Structure 1
């Protein structure tokens, strides 16, 4: 009887610790980057463009923390998309921008991904650029 009680107590403590650790790490609450920056749009549709006519869009975001926010890197799903971003720290409540230029070198429906790495956040923020390239 005492052995079952101790095992139950131990299991409860283990489960409580796991739940607390998930809460601290943000597991199950979505991307931790969402707790740092609020994007006006996470997907931008550039509409229709012509083959080999580059398209540029701006992903604007606001720092929703109480500390300066720094983008360490931004990378695209292919070499046809080039991201540029605000290099200096973004102060609390201020806006930053990630500019993505797509070279429009393929005909048809396009869906390009940009991954943004914020300092202090392990998981990248994912943004999408979509549209159609016509010949």
Structure 2
């Protein structure tokens, strides 16, 4: 019985030490944390330009540098900070979406490339594009 108790107690100690080590390794270096990773515009009309600002914080221990922000097409244009972001500092990425030539439900993924421990973070915008308003087509 003593052996079983020692084994169980020892297992908990080892598991706890491994969990603490994993947490420390996860936070070492810059880390980007978004306030929200998805934004839905709802219904818009074909030809509308809409924009959204994704706020984030460097929750890591070292300076964050965003090297690129990639989109899947020219209809989505990002603007991001070019200066390094210190630990604890907040910043933002602005995304402008042009719905010209699009129709129906659209999802656009924006990939943020950086030196963070999560080097390819992603945020998403979603919208439903309705046909042009009658007054716009005359």
TM-score (normalised: structure 1): 0.70
Q: 1:72 aligns with which of 63, 67, 76?
A: 67
Q: In the alignment, does 2:47 pair up with 1:57?
A: no
Q: 1:88 aligns with which of 83, 88, 107?
A: 83
- Matches of 2:105 and 2:56 in 1, distance apart? 26
Q: What is the Cα-based RMSD across aligned positions, in Å?
A: 2.4
CA separation of 1:67/1:85 partners in 2, compared to 1, >3 Å: closer, same or farther? same
Structure 2 equivalent of residue 128 of structure 1: 124
Larger radius of gyration: 2
TM-score (normalised: structure 2): 0.69
Q: 1:109 aligns with which of 83, 95, 105?
A: 105
Structure 1 equivalent of residue 37 of structure 2: 42
CA separation of 1:42/1:122 partners in 2, compared to 1, >3 Å: closer, same or farther? closer
Q: Gaps (5+ residues) in structure 2?
A: 1-21, 132-138
